[in-house]
Amino acid sequence: MNDQQYLVQNQTRQAESTPYERKLAGAIEEVFGSGRHDLGGLVDGLNEMGVLAPGGRQWTEESFTAEMQRLGA
């Protein structure tokens, strides 16, 4: 079995990622890649990058946690 088959068969998502989800995931990876690995640093990094929370608001630790729960992450 090739890696692509494995990934497709074992993903938990129900549909393709939305543009919002892809943008958020990329921004999270970028923040982690900059060396920030705690929730506060992640939230600060997203806000500094201008990647806003739903509704166009700045992220808080609470809003980020709630959004991850909503997305099933």
Q: Quick check: 10 pLDDT over 80?
A: no
Angle, helices 39-49 vs 19-33, to 10°: value is 120
CA gyration radius, the chain = 14
Question: Which pTM was predicted?
Answer: 0.78
For 47-56, what is each residue's pLDDT tens digit?
999 999 999 9
Spans of all domains in the chain = 17-71
Question: How far apart (Å, rounded) are the C-alpha atoms in residues 44 and 67?
Answer: 16
